Amino acid sequence: MILIHNGGLCFECETRLLFLPLALLRHKDDYNWHICIADVHLPGMGDSVADSRVESRFRDITMNSTRRVAVLMGIDSAFGRELLRGINDYARRNGHWHLYFGHTPELAMLPTSEPWGVDGLIVYLGTRDDYRNIERMGLPAVNIGSAFDDLSILSVRPDNDAIGQAAAEHLISSGLSSFACVSLADHAGAQDRVRGFTRAVAAASPQRHFAGVISLEGRSPGPSHLPQLEAFLRGLPTPCGLFVFNDRFAQAVLEAARRCGLRIPDDIAMVSVDNDDLLCNLSNPQLSSVDSAADHVGFRAAAVLYDMMRGKKPPAGPVLIPHRGVITRRSSDVLAVNDPVVARALKYIRQEPPANLSIDTIVKGADISRRTLERRFAQVLGRSVYDEIRQRRMQHAKYLLSHTTLPMERVGEECGFCHLSHFSNAFAHVVGMRPTKYQQMTRVIPGGNGGVSVDLTKPQRKRRTRK
């Protein structure tokens, strides 16, 4: 059984909180456990339901629950909701879990004595006080926040450094030469993302220029941030590639750019993080964003906590979950290349299926000799034509691995590899892990923010592998 608080109603039958045990009895035969929306005021946690008879009945219903886990976090963003989706998915796959859900400030209200004691905690730590409260409880706990990187509590979080690197590579591929970042002060995760971004820009070419970073105060965007952002944006060279550490603050950046008369993406090409599908598509222009795979962060956090509750030793350091790549939308759809030949080649690489890409086909499409194309690529972009092809193939491979159910051999074919071993080795060289492992760690949980996995194999005939 899973218990989630959200205003005192059962999600399925709308029974009021006072009759919550009856609601659970009504549904207890439908599933191994029942998801119910209710307030946090449970017996032992407040004065909402104090009747001992009700408590006894509720205890009878949950006597088969093997694990009681408190999940303390916010769900006012897509990242939070996807975290919860991943936790719920693990619970559904792995037996009876009883989840208390609330916001982190409710940590002090959490029951710690029988019969309402919990066995473990999954918590988004946003303050040092939260951390100290967790330590005092002495329970197995997993942190799913990125605000701090110096805590003794095990953290499961996105690979923030790699997220910044992915955003940089995406903007660099547009031919931009100037870059900047919007970060958050006193937030380790945001700073890790900026660090990965700046490192990738510096490694790309000496011709790249990092124009600066602004670190904002506070955990949520507000009107007070607009004057700071306007002043920062006015000082940037144009065109410029801008990386914003999450989608919510990117909305404030878009508004500040509008007030400054800056065009997105022509003057400022922008990429943010979390791929909040609704927020990104409501933006004007639509917002490109790195999919941080929050559902897999939640799933992995639940798996690690389950092992800890069974007495297993936790991993030595933070568990980093790979991202799913940049989901490209209008805010970064620009080619800032003055060389018309290189611009034509880049456009061809972006539009053509990766399986059809080769230096010869690009040379033919650009109507120029191979030697001249390679020389001008190096001069303008600071990298080779082959590097651009490889990046395009790996981006497509990441998408297919995380968003479809294509067999591995077919994924390799779709990305231009004749043999599975060649594809696996190339992927491991670029990404740092085998494609099978990447798929296990990033495949979209059905119904999640990234969309439902699609089986593309059924309408396709089996292809014959090229010799």
Residue 193 belongs to a domain: yes
Residue 464 belongs to a domain: no
Q: How far apart are CA 318 and CA 296, in angstroms?
A: 15
Residue 178 belongs to a domain: yes
What pLDDT was estimated at residue 453?
Answer: 32
Which of 67-76, 93-102, 283-292, 353-362 is predicted with the least confidence, judged by mean pLDDT?
93-102
What pLDDT was estimated at residue 343?
Answer: 82
Two tokens at 336?
A: 């800032």
Across the strands, what pairs with 9? 16
Q: How far apart are CA 165 and CA 216, in angstroms?
A: 21
Domain with 111, as residue range(s), is 2-157
What pLDDT was estimated at residue 31?
Answer: 34
What pLDDT was estimated at residue 356?
Answer: 87
Angle 404-170-82 from CA coordinates, rounded to 5°: 45
> Do residues 190 and 278 both lie within one domain?
yes
Structure pTM?
Answer: 0.73
Overall number of domains in the chain: 3
Across the strands, what pairs with 100? 3, 70
Among 108, 142, 157, the domain-final residue is: 157
Across the strands, what pairs with 243? 181, 271
For the stretch 268-327, pLDDT in tens is 999 999 999 999 999 999 999 999 999 999 999 999 999 998 888 888 889 999 999 899
The answer on pLDDT for 182 being more than 70 is yes
| C-beta of residue 306 within 8 angstroms of C-beta of residue 314 | no
> Do residues 151 and 166 both lie within one domain?
no
Strand, coil or helix: 147 = coil
Q: How far apart are CA 85 and CA 89, in angstroms?
A: 6
Give the CATH number of the domain where residue 117 resides: 3.40.50
Give the CATH number of the domain where residue 388 resides: 1.10.10.60
> Do residues 59 and 109 both lie within one domain?
yes
Mean predicted lDDT score pLDDT of the chain: 78
> Do residues 143 and 10 both lie within one domain?
yes
> Do residues 145 and 186 both lie within one domain?
no
> Do residues 286 and 409 both lie within one domain?
no
| Percent with pLDDT over 70 in the chain | 77
> Do residues 9 and 148 both lie within one domain?
yes
Q: How far apart are CA 160 and CA 243, in angstroms?
A: 13
Element of type H or E holding 279 = helix 277-282
Is residue 153 exposed (0-12), middle (13-18) or buried (19+ Cβ within 10 Å)? middle
**What are residue 205's phi and psi, to 5 degrees?**
-175, 145
Two tokens at 348?
A: 């061809």
CA distances from 256 to 174, 231, 462 (A): 23, 9, 51
Angle 88-159-105 from CA coordinates, rounded to 5°: 50
| Percent with pLDDT over 90 in the chain | 39
Across the strands, what pairs with 209? 178
Mean pLDDT confidence for 174-197: 92
Range among 31-45, 81-95, 443-457 with highest mean pLDDT value: 81-95
Element of type H or E holding 181 = strand 178-184
Q: How far apart are CA 332 and CA 239, in angstroms?
A: 11
The answer on pLDDT for 242 being more than 80 is yes
For the stretch 86-139, pLDDT in tens is 998 898 887 678 877 776 555 555 555 444 478 889 999 888 888 888 888 888
Two tokens at 56?
A: 């006894």
Strand, coil or helix: 361 = helix
Residue 301 belongs to a domain: no
Residue 312 belongs to a domain: no
What pLDDT was estimated at residue 164?
Answer: 96
Range among 61-70, 270-279, 339-348, 395-404 with highest mean pLDDT value: 270-279
DSSP letters spanning 123-150: E---SHHHHHHHHHHT--EEE---S-S-
| C-beta of residue 165 within 8 angstroms of C-beta of residue 196 | yes
Residue 297 belongs to a domain: no
The answer on pLDDT for 40 being more than 90 is no
Q: How confident is the model at residue 191 (pLDDT cuts 50, 70, 90)?
A: very high
> Do residues 147 and 176 both lie within one domain?
no
DSSP letters spanning 384-437: -HHHHHHHHHHHHHHHHHHHB---HHHHHHHTT-SSHHHHHHHHHHHHSS-HHH
Across the strands, what pairs with 327? 289
